[in-house]
Structure 1
Amino acid sequence: MQGRDFFNVGAAVLLALSAATPVAAQAANAKAVVDAAKASGIVGEQADGFLGYVKPTTDPALRAAVEEINAGRAELYRQAAAKNGVSPAAAGASAFTTVVQSRLKPGEYFKPAGGDWTRK
């Protein structure tokens, strides 16, 4: 896959992530919980396109929110993969690249493939 095409898959996935859904209120609540955890340095973006824990947590609400968002991302990666003729893993990796380049805020964490948690 060419670099530009790879970026386009990531952009398409991010667009789908921001689209309204029937469970938008629940998803918005999960996003708010995760956004607060990202700002606190507890949760970050991983190279596979999923959220991961920068620091251990036992907070059940945060764990549920991360699981909900990761499940939604997995479905979007499957859909993007089918539409673009790539694997779901490639779609997730493309989304990660797009997130780190355009949506990750200063002070938030990301974990590149084979690397350690890094603060933007």
Structure 2
Amino acid sequence: MQGRELIGIGAAVMAALVLPQAAAAQSAQAKATVDRAKAAGVVGEQADGFLGFVTEPADPAIRQAVAEINAGRAQVYREAAERTGTTPAAAGASAYTQVVQGRLKPGEYYKPVGGGWTRK
């Protein structure tokens, strides 16, 4: 995949993630729960563009929040793929790159393709 294509896909995904419809798909409570779990090192960003568990959460609310956020992301990736003529998997991977490079906070975790959890 060419660099321009990745930038276009990434822009489409990031635009969708900040649009009101995408925000409505995930409740404020789920986002707050995931943000706290990310800060605590329980949840991290995976190379496929979805959230994963760095450690198994004791709180079932974290699992539920991650499932809700991931469902919203899956929808965004499908929509971005349709607009850009690519696949949802490529859209998710592009979103991961954008998040890790620009929005991941120090101390939060990410998991590159074929690698283990890494702390930023």
- The TM-score bracket by the shorter chain reads over 0.9
C-alpha distance in 1 between matches for 2:7 and 2:44: 20
Aligned to 1:73: 73
Aligned to 1:32: 32
C-alpha distance in 1 between matches for 2:53 and 2:119: 13
User: Is it true that 1:114 corresponds to 2:114 in the alignment?
Assistant: yes
Normalised by the size of structure 2, how large is the TM-score? Answer: 0.92
Question: Within 5 Å, which residues of 2 pair with 1:1-120?
Answer: 1-21=1-21, 24=24, 27-120=27-120
Normalised by the size of structure 1, how large is the TM-score? Answer: 0.92
Aligned alpha-carbon RMSD (Å): 1.7
Q: Structure 1: which 5+ residue stretches go unaligned?
A: none
**Deviation string, structure 1 residues 11-56 (Cα, Å, up to 9, x no partner):** 3212211222397396211111000000000000000000000001
Q: Structure 2: which 5+ residue stretches go unaligned?
A: none
Which stretch shifts more, 57-66 or 12-21? 12-21
Match of 1:91, SS? helix
Q: Percent identity at matched positions?
A: 66
